[in-house]
Copies of this chain bind each other. A is one copy, B any other.
Amino acid sequence: MNFPHQQLEKFTIAVLQKIGCPEADAKTAAKVLLSADLRGVDSHGVARLSGYVRLWEAGRINPTPNIRVVHETPSTAVIDGDAGLGLVVAPFAMKVAIEKAKTAGTGWVSVKNSNHYGIAGIHAMEALKHDMVGISLTNASPLVSPTFSKERLLGTNPISVAIPANEQPPFVLDMATTTAANGKLEILQRKKEQAPEGWIQDKDGQSTRDPLGVKDGGALLPLGGDREHGSQKGYGLGAVVDIFSAVLSGANYGPWVPPFVAFLDPHPNPVGEGLGHFFGAMRVDAFRPADDFKNHMDNWISRFRNATPVEGQEKVLIPGDPERELEQERKVNGIPLLNAVVEDLQALGDKLDVNL
């Protein structure tokens, strides 16, 4: 079933207002959430809305947070999200990074006491409007085992980097530091299909193709899959995301990161507050004239896009191409939602007296 994104956005705003969010915050959050559906990251969009509401019911989300800078230097800040929706805390923090960059050349903001912030890319892309490079990282609940570990110690800890161009659309990398995102696994679970080797390990730490492996005490694998294919690199990148997001700010890190699902309790002995994010903004003209940079980015992008493809492939893609194309299509044709998601949203609407 396809829904116009405006309809889903309006519904999301109404739901968030019902749980006590001020209108401006509800609008900000809805826009971030819907950007995931528009860009094809269906696992991070409205499908999660009732999850956020359950966290609020459990007292783990503050609908009226006092988000504030608690420490700063000319190019850095630490922000306390006051247990607010990550969907609201993250845009606030990215704005601070952009403001810092205007005067210091770059701005770097680490955030504690936040919650899930939607897709990483949408926050990084805010910088593009200002001719800046944007960076967005977040930690997340532990689903990933480091190389050689039986235990799950890291989240899928994404990295997003958005870089402006001139005539060409921007370069937008937005990637989990695992071989496969959890959303892809959920699709295989629903279809009852096997996962490729290198995506997951079972509860004993052995490679498995059973997509239920993660639910049965196993784990997602870091990008690379195993040691022979460089999984220590995916693990290392996920670790850097964790440390920048949470050890710099004072949030929970590693296995202490609170779970997104409300039916699992947060760790009884937290090492920090909430979960953490990290944002960066670099003014392009803090390095060279913006037009020079953007014209060379045009050249970079067109050279890579026009590379000779291997047989059977249409073309070489630039990071951000698939998401942008999907966004254009979905803005016209609407957002396809699974029946289970529609039913979940309808139940949520019934409970809060909001029409889908």
Q: Which residues of A contact B (CB under 8 A)?
A: 71-76, 78, 103-106, 108, 110, 133, 146-151, 153, 159, 161, 163, 171, 173, 175-180, 196, 198-199, 201, 204-206, 223-225, 228-230, 232-237, 239-240, 242-244, 247-250, 253-255, 271-272, 282-284, 286-288, 292-293, 296-297, 299-300, 303-304, 307-311, 313, 315-317, 319
Return chain B residues, CB-CB under 8 Å to A308: 149-151
Return chain B residues, CB-CB under 8 Å to A316: 146-149
Q: Which residue in B151, B180, B296, B315 is a CB contact (below 8 Å) of A307?
A: B151
Return chain B residues, CB-CB under 8 Å to A240: 161, 163, 173
Return chain B residues, CB-CB under 8 Å to A237: 159, 173, 175, 237
CA distance A78 to B284 in the complex (A): 11
Q: Which residue in B159, B171, B179, B233 is a CB contact (below 8 Å) of A229?
A: B179
Q: Smallest CB–CB gap between A321 and chain B, Å? A: 10
CA distance A147 to B305 in the complex (A): 11
Q: Smallest CB–CB gap between A199 and chain B, Å? A: 8
How many copies are assembled? Answer: 2
Q: Which residue in B106, B133, B236, B319 is a CB contact (below 8 Å) of A106?
A: B106
Interchain residue pairs A-B with the least CB separation, the first 10:
A205-B310, A73-B105, A76-B105, A173-B236, A148-B313, A76-B286, A75-B75, A175-B233, A248-B287, A73-B286
Known: A196-B228, A254-B300. 17 other contacts (CB 8 A): A71-B287, A73-B105, A73-B283, A74-B75, A76-B286, A78-B288, A147-B316, A147-B317, A148-B309, A150-B307, A178-B230, A179-B229, A179-B230, A205-B311, A248-B284, A249-B288, A271-B299
